[in-house]
Amino acid sequence: MASRKQVTRGQKTVLRLYVAGISARSTRAVQNARRICDENEGDCELVVIDIFQQPSLAKDDQIVAVPTLVKKLPPPSRRLTGNLSDLDVIRVGLDLKAK
């Protein structure tokens, strides 16, 4: 049986960031999430979803607070809420390493 690291090696990290409009808190969260993805040099895909524009996506992912960052792939799925200002906590929470 392959270890989790072997299965996920080379797999792109897919993140969804749910925000509410262009508030200062949402803008900070987008900037911080992009910084995390930039550190992973193309191994990370970030999709920003405004819950005012696409409420059905927020409902599908059961989003109850924004900003919320959801790690979709690779498993396990993870959720982090807030402006994502503590990048070290975000890296640990998403199981990512800065390159």
**Integer angstrom CA distances of residue 13 from 25, 53, 82:** 24, 24, 20
Quick check: 27 pLDDT over 80? yes
The pLDDT of residue 10 is 63
Name, in order, each residue with C-beta under 8 angstroms of 30's C-beta and a sequence gap of 6 or more: 17, 19, 48, 67
pTM for the model stands at: 0.84
Give tens-digit pLDDT for 36-49.
999 887 789 999 99
The pLDDT of residue 4 is 41
The pLDDT of residue 2 is 37
With cut-offs at 50, 70 and 90, classify the pLDDT of residue 68: very high
**CA–centroid distance for 83 within its chain:** 11
3-state secondary structure of 21: coil
Q: CATH number of the domain at 16-91, please?
A: 3.40.30.10
Average pLDDT, whole number, for the chain?
86
Closest to 66 (Cα-Cα) out of 49, 82, 90: 82
